[in-house]
Amino acid sequence: MGRYDDILLKFNKKGQRVLVPAIYPTIPISDNDQFVYPQDGDRLDNLAYKYYNDASLWWVIAQANELGKGRTILNPNFQIRIPGNITTIIANFNALNE
């Protein structure tokens, strides 16, 4: 699943596709969350693949930790929260971007 798979395409008056930014949901702390220290060289997309089997869900970890883009190399000295309620998060994302 890509983060833009369920977003409707928007078009201007000339029929050209226009970009509309995605709106990300707030991700509250849950009892299902895991807290990990990344390995040296880990990135958000690597962690998303490791925990969700889907590298495109890097934005979930970024949003939960107030971090940047998926290729951001993480500092192994800082703990990262891996949200556990991924189904709810994706449903909230889809609802915000309909």
Kindly list the distances between the CA atom of residue 8 and the CA atoms of 4, 13, 14, 23, 82, in Å, as whole numbers in the listed order: 9, 16, 17, 13, 28
Instruction: Indicate the pTM of the whole model.
Output: 0.77
Q: Given pLDDT bands bounded at 50, 70 and 90, which one contains residue 38?
A: very high
DSSP 34-84: EEEPPPTT-BHHHHHHHHHS-GGGHHHHHHHHT---TTPBPPTTS-EEE-S
What number is the average pLDDT over the span 8-34? 85
Overall size of the chain counted in residues: 98
CA–CA dist 4, 56 (Å, integer): 10
Percent of the chain past pLDDT 70, that is, above it, reads 86
pLDDT tens for 59-95 read 999 999 988 765 567 889 999 999 999 999 999 998 9
